[in-house]
Structure 1
Amino acid sequence: MKLHVLRFLFLLILVPFYAKAQTVSIPEKTKNMKGYTGFKPFYWDESTGKIWLQIDTFDTEFLYQTALSAGLGSNDVGLDRGKLGATAIVKFSRVGNKVLMIQPNYSYRAITNDAAEKRAVEQSFAQSILWGFTVAAETSGSVLVDATAFFMRDALKISAVLQANNQGTYSLDETRSALYLERTKNFPLNSEFETTMTFVNNSGKSGSHVNTVTPNSEAISLRMHHSFVALPDNNFETRKYDARSPYNTNSYFDYSTPVSEPIEKNFIKRHRLEKKNPLADRSEAIKPIVYYLDNGTPEPIRSALLEGASWWNQAFESAGFINAFQVKILPEGADPMDLRYNMINWVHRSTRGWSYGYSVHDPRTGEILKGNVSLGSLRVRQDYLIAQGLLAPFENGDVPADDKMLQMSLQRLKQLAAHEIGHTLGLMHNYISSAQNRSSIMDYPPPMVTLNSNGEIDLSNAYTNEIGDWDKISIQYGYTQFPKGTDEAAALDKIIADATSKGLTFISDRDARDPGGLHPNVHLWDTGTDPVTELKRVMQIRAKALSKFGENNIRKGTPMALLEDVLVPVYLFHRYQVEAATKVIGGQYYSYAIKGDGQMITKSVSKEEQLKALNEVIATMDPKVLALSENILKLIPPRPVNYEYTSELFNRKTGLAFDPLSAAEAATDIPLSFLFHTSRLNRLVEYQAKNDGLGIDDMIQVLTTKLWNGQKSVGLEGLIQQQNEQMLLTYLLAVSVNDNASFATKAALLKAIDDLKTKVTAQLKKTKDSTQKGYLLLTLDRIKSPEKAKATLHQSAPPGAPIGCGTNEN
Structure 2
Amino acid sequence: MKYWIGKLAIFIVLLYNLFIYSDYAGANQLSNIDVQQANALPAVENLANTDNDIAKNRKENFCRFNEVVKGINKVEGLFTLYCTENSGKIYLEIKPEQLNKDYLAIATLESGVGESGIYSGLPLSDFIFYFQRVNNRLHFVVRNVKFRAESRPEQRSLARSFSDSVLYSLEIANIDPQNENILIDLNELLMQDLPGLTTILKYSLQADYRLDAHKSYFGNVNSFPENIEIDSIYGFSSLEGANLVTVPDSRALTLKVHYSFSQLRENNDYIPRLADDRVGYFITAFQDLSNKNPHESFVRYINRWHLEPSNPNVPLSPPKKPIVYWIENAVPLEYRDAIREGVLMWNKAFEKAGFQNAIEVQQMPDDADWQPADVHYNTIRWFNSLDAGFARGPMRVNPFTGEILDADIMVDANMVLSIQQEYHALMEVNPSLVGKNPCQALWGSQKLGANNSLLPDSEFCYGMESSNQAAMGALALSILPNTTASSETMKEYVYQYLRSLIAHEIGHTLGLRHNFHGSTMLAPEELNNTEITHTKGLVSSVMDYLPVNIAPQGVQQGDYFPGVVGPYDEWAIEYGYKTSPSAVLEGIIPESEKSFLEQIALASPQPELSYATDEDIWDINPLANVWDMSSDVLLYSQWQMDNARVMWQRLDKGYLSKGESYNNLRVSFNRVLKYYFRNATLLSKYIGGQSFLHLHTSDNPSWTFVPVSLLKQRQALIKLQEYVFAENAFSFSPQLLNKLAPSRWEHWGRSVPNNRLDYPIHDRILGFQSAVLRSLLDSDRLNRLQDIELKTLPGEALSIPELFHTLQTGIWAEVLTPGEPKPISSIRRSLQREYLNILLEMMLGTTDTLEDGRTLAWYELRQLQKAIDVRLKQLSESIDIYTLAHLEASGDRITKALNAHLLSK
Shift of 1:419: 0.2
Q: Which amino acid aligns with 2:593?
A: E
What SS does structure 1 have at the residue aligned with 2:333? coil
Distance 1:107 1:150, change over 3 A: same
What SS does structure 2 have at the residue aligned with 1:547? helix
Q: Which amino acid aligns with 1:32?
A: G
Distance 1:750 1:716, change over 3 A: closer
Specify the alignment match of 2:66 in structure 1.
27
Shift of 1:201: 2.6
Shift of 1:52: 1.6
Distance 1:646 1:594, change over 3 A: farther
- For 1:305 and 1:411, the matched residues in 2 are separated by 10
Shift of 1:548: 1.3
Specify the alignment match of 1:748 in structure 2.
856
1:680 aligns with 2:781: yes
Shift of 1:394: 12
Distance 1:752 1:11, change over 3 A: farther
- For 1:632 and 1:715, the matched residues in 2 are separated by 27
Specify the alignment match of 2:495 in structure 1.
410
The 8 Å contact of residues 721 and 810 in structure 2, kept in 1 or not, is answered as yes
Q: Which amino acid aligns with 1:46?
A: E
Shift of 1:357: 1.2
Specify the alignment match of 1:572 in structure 2.
674
1:171 aligns with 2:210: yes
Instruction: Report which of the two structures shows the higher radius of gyration computed on alpha carbons.
Output: 2
Shift of 1:525: 0.4
Match of 1:477 among 570, 575, 587: 575
CA RMSD of aligned residues (A): 3.3
Equivalent positions of 1:492-511 (< 5 A) are 492-498=597-603, 500-501=605-606, 503-511=608-616
Equivalent positions of 1:373-452 (< 5 A) are 373-384=409-420, 385=422, 386-392=472-478, 401-437=486-522, 438-451=539-552
What SS does structure 2 have at the residue aligned with 1:136? strand
1:659 aligns with 2:770: no
Shift of 1:315: 0.9
- Cα deviation, 1:66-88, whole Å, max 9, x if unaligned, reads 111112323xx433222112321
Specify the alignment match of 2:441 in structure 1.
none
Distance 1:472 1:715, change over 3 A: farther
- For 1:465 and 1:273, the matched residues in 2 are separated by 25
Distance 1:258 1:400, change over 3 A: closer
The 8 Å contact of residues 109 and 258 in structure 2, kept in 1 or not, is answered as yes
What SS does structure 1 have at the residue aligned with 2:698? coil
- For 1:388 and 1:699, the matched residues in 2 are separated by 38
What SS does structure 2 have at the residue aligned with 1:683? helix
Q: Which moved more, 1:165-174 or 1:116-125?
A: 165-174
1:336 aligns with 2:336: no
Q: Which moved more, 1:378-387 or 1:750-759?
A: 750-759
Distance 1:365 1:735, change over 3 A: farther
Specify the alignment match of 1:806 in structure 2.
none
What SS does structure 2 have at the residue aligned with 1:710? helix
Q: Which amino acid aligns with 1:85?
A: L
Distance 1:165 1:555, change over 3 A: farther
Specify the alignment match of 2:623 in structure 1.
521
Q: Which amino acid aligns with 2:808?
A: T
Match of 2:593 among 488, 501, 523: 488
Q: Which moved more, 1:494-503 or 1:433-442?
A: 494-503
Shift of 1:51: 2.1
Aligned length: 758
The 8 Å contact of residues 73 and 83 in structure 2, kept in 1 or not, is answered as yes
- For 2:390 and 2:650, the matched residues in 1 are separated by 31
Specify the alignment match of 1:589 in structure 2.
691
Specify the alignment match of 1:188 in structure 2.
225
Specify the alignment match of 1:280 in structure 2.
314
Match of 1:772 among 883, 897, 904: 883
What SS does structure 2 have at the residue aligned with 1:283? coil
Q: Which moved more, 1:347-356 or 1:412-421?
A: 347-356
The 8 Å contact of residues 91 and 183 in structure 2, kept in 1 or not, is answered as yes
Match of 1:307 among 312, 335, 341: 341
Distance 1:439 1:489, change over 3 A: same
Q: Which moved more, 1:117-126 or 1:684-693?
A: 684-693
Shift of 1:745: 3.1
- Cα deviation, 1:75-107, whole Å, max 9, x if unaligned, reads xx4332221123211111112220111222211
1:545 aligns with 2:629: no
Match of 2:718 among 609, 615, 624: 615
Specify the alignment match of 1:637 in structure 2.
741
- For 1:383 and 1:666, the matched residues in 2 are separated by 27
Q: Which amino acid aligns with 1:300?
A: E
Q: Which moved more, 1:41-50 or 1:370-379?
A: 41-50
Specify the alignment match of 1:798 in structure 2.
none
Equivalent positions of 1:222-233 (< 5 A) are 222-233=255-266
Specify the alignment match of 2:805 in structure 1.
701
Distance 1:485 1:238, change over 3 A: closer
Match of 1:46 among 85, 90, 97: 85
The 8 Å contact of residues 109 and 253 in structure 1, kept in 2 or not, is answered as yes
Distance 1:40 1:484, change over 3 A: same
Q: Which amino acid aligns with 1:226?
A: Y
Specify the alignment match of 1:59 in structure 2.
100
Q: Which moved more, 1:118-127 or 1:307-316?
A: 118-127
Specify the alignment match of 1:250 in structure 2.
284
The 8 Å contact of residues 360 and 370 in structure 1, kept in 2 or not, is answered as yes
Match of 2:635 among 508, 527, 533: 533
- Cα deviation, 1:498-532, whole Å, max 9, x if unaligned, reads 353464221111112x2xx1112110000111111
Match of 1:627 among 731, 741, 751: 731
Specify the alignment match of 1:105 in structure 2.
144
- For 1:199 and 1:665, the matched residues in 2 are separated by 46
Q: Which amino acid aligns with 2:514?
A: H
The 8 Å contact of residues 42 and 52 in structure 1, kept in 2 or not, is answered as yes
Q: Which amino acid aligns with 1:443?
A: D
Specify the alignment match of 2:165 in structure 1.
128
Distance 1:199 1:672, change over 3 A: farther
- For 1:388 and 1:219, the matched residues in 2 are separated by 40
The 8 Å contact of residues 192 and 227 in structure 1, kept in 2 or not, is answered as yes
1:265 aligns with 2:366: no
The 8 Å contact of residues 245 and 506 in structure 1, kept in 2 or not, is answered as yes
Q: Normalising by structure 1, what TM-score?
A: 0.86
Specify the alignment match of 1:68 in structure 2.
109
Shift of 1:11: 7.8
1:293 aligns with 2:327: yes
- For 2:835 and 2:198, the matched residues in 1 are separated by 42
The 8 Å contact of residues 550 and 635 in structure 1, kept in 2 or not, is answered as no
- Cα deviation, 1:561-606, whole Å, max 9, x if unaligned, reads 2211122222222333322221111011230111221134222222
Shift of 1:363: 0.4
Q: Which amino acid aligns with 2:206?
A: Q
The 8 Å contact of residues 380 and 410 in structure 1, kept in 2 or not, is answered as no
- For 1:531 and 1:717, the matched residues in 2 are separated by 32
Specify the alignment match of 1:795 in structure 2.
none
Q: Where in structure 2 are there 5+ consecutive unaligned residues?
A: 1-38, 423-471, 523-538, 585-591, 899-905
- For 1:632 and 1:716, the matched residues in 2 are separated by 24
Q: Where in structure 1 are there 5+ consecutive unaligned residues?
A: 1-6, 787-810
Higher relative contact order (CA 8 A, sep 6+): 1
Distance 1:390 1:41, change over 3 A: same
The 8 Å contact of residues 270 and 426 in structure 1, kept in 2 or not, is answered as yes
Q: Which moved more, 1:30-39 or 1:716-725?
A: 716-725
What SS does structure 2 have at the residue aligned with 1:444? coil
- For 2:174 and 2:201, the matched residues in 1 are separated by 39
| Identity over aligned pairs, percent | 26
- For 1:588 and 1:579, the matched residues in 2 are separated by 16
